[in-house]
Amino acid sequence: MRLSKLKISQFKNISKVDIDLHPTINAFTGMNGMGKTNILDTVHYLCFAKSNFGRIERNNVMIGEDFFRLEGQFLNFDKKYDIVIKVKPPGLKVIEKNGKAFKKVSEHIGDFPLVIIAPRDKNALLENSVDRRKLMDRALSQTDKTYLNALVEYNKLLKQRNALLKNSDFGNIDTLLLDTYDKKIAPIVELISLKRKEFVNEILPDFLLMYKEIASDKEAPDLIYKSQLEKSSYLDLVKDSFQKDMILKRSSSGIHKDDLGFLLNGQSLKYFASQGQLKSYALAIKLAEFAFLKRVKGFEPIVILDDVFDKLDKSRVEKLVSLLFNKSFGQVFISDTDKERVEKIFIDANVDYKIFEVKDGIISN
């Protein structure tokens, strides 16, 4: 799958862009703050119907304007898909495929799979359990509509349950309503937990292989799925945590507390890994995500490399380039401050490419 054409109107600092894209490598170069990452974010938005940098749509509209519009032409095998997304905050968002509007955003997710690799992955995945859950949710939502719909329903019910707890006191809570929420949530969390566990088991061999190629076969990395549901059913969990939930005014049990354990040589990655090992670990996870999507979807997802080359040492850059360009990784979008550096990387790798220079939101070849 590839994105062949991209049109942008009034998105962040980009007034108007209309470009034809390279089928393999598209690099956007320029100084920091010029709009390189914003260009890559439009690709993300076309695939996920949201920015990779927060949910407030007003922040995605160019200053002085009241809407933005994105258009992309995707080619997959012999089929063409014209995607148009029109957003006018605070409430209007229209997503169209070949002229037909979707009723729900979730109907669009997964049609155009994407993996994004960025320097912040290292710290985000290491420090934040939310980002570790997003890693599972992003991959599974792009490959499994049942999972995506279950996740949407869970988040809706969890929000309602938390609102009930927030507005209640001991001895003054609608226990019947709380029990209704819990009985609706129970089968959903069982399904989500099972699919997350299966996902971790499935990507583990790819992850181990990728880490070995990037780093060293002397190290022994591991991924472990961690869930409260491994030791107790959801209904038992919420029963046991009722007093705690009433005090906290929020739900302390459920799949929103799931996590991934990152290990290296049997030890927690957070406390024992070097900076180089952390970078290798984050890269290996994202490349394993790519392999998973490709295997399940039957074609290569798009890859975004946001300012990666500047943050990796030469050895890891060479390993990453080898994995991306020597194993048919499909279409890649890259941002970098150094045009000469990326040109040398592509020339050394003997691959075709297209470079766009970005200055103040304006693009030139």
CB atoms within 10 A of CB 16: 14
Does residue 120 belong to any structural domain of this protein? no
Number of CB atoms found within 10 A of residue 216's CB: 12
**Alpha-carbon distance values, 26 to 11, 159, 292, 305, 346 (Å):** 19, 41, 23, 10, 11
- 191 and 250: one domain? yes
Q: Based on the fold, state whether residues 28 and 164 are members of the same structural domain.
A: no
Q: Are residues 268 and 286 in the same domain?
A: yes
Domain annotation covers residue 119: no
Residue 118 lies in a domain: no
Quote the pLDDT of residue 327: 61
| Residue 278, domain CATH | 1.20.1050.90
For 248-267, the pLDDT digits (tens) are: 999 999 999 999 999 988 98
pLDDT confidence bin for 216, thresholds 50/70/90: low
Same domain, 102 and 203: no
Q: Same domain, yes or no, for 270 and 314?
A: no
Return the CATH number at 70.
Answer: 3.40.50.300
Domains in the chain: how many in total?
A: 2
Asked if 106 and 249 sit in the same domain, the reply is no
What's the domain range around 14?
Answer: 1-113+301-365
Domain ends where: 250, 279, 297?
A: 297
Q: Which of 241, 262, 297 is the last residue of a domain?
A: 297
Please state the pTM of the whole predicted model. 0.93
Q: What is the pLDDT of residues 293-339, one digit of tens each?
A: 999 999 999 999 999 888 788 888 888 888 887 666 789 999 999 99
Domain boundary among 249, 270, 297: 297
Whether residue 225 contacts residue 197, with contact meaning beta carbons closer than 8 Å, is answered with yes
Round to whole Å and give the CA distance between 99 and 81.
Answer: 10
Whole-angstrom distance, CA of residue 274 vs CA of residue 271: 9
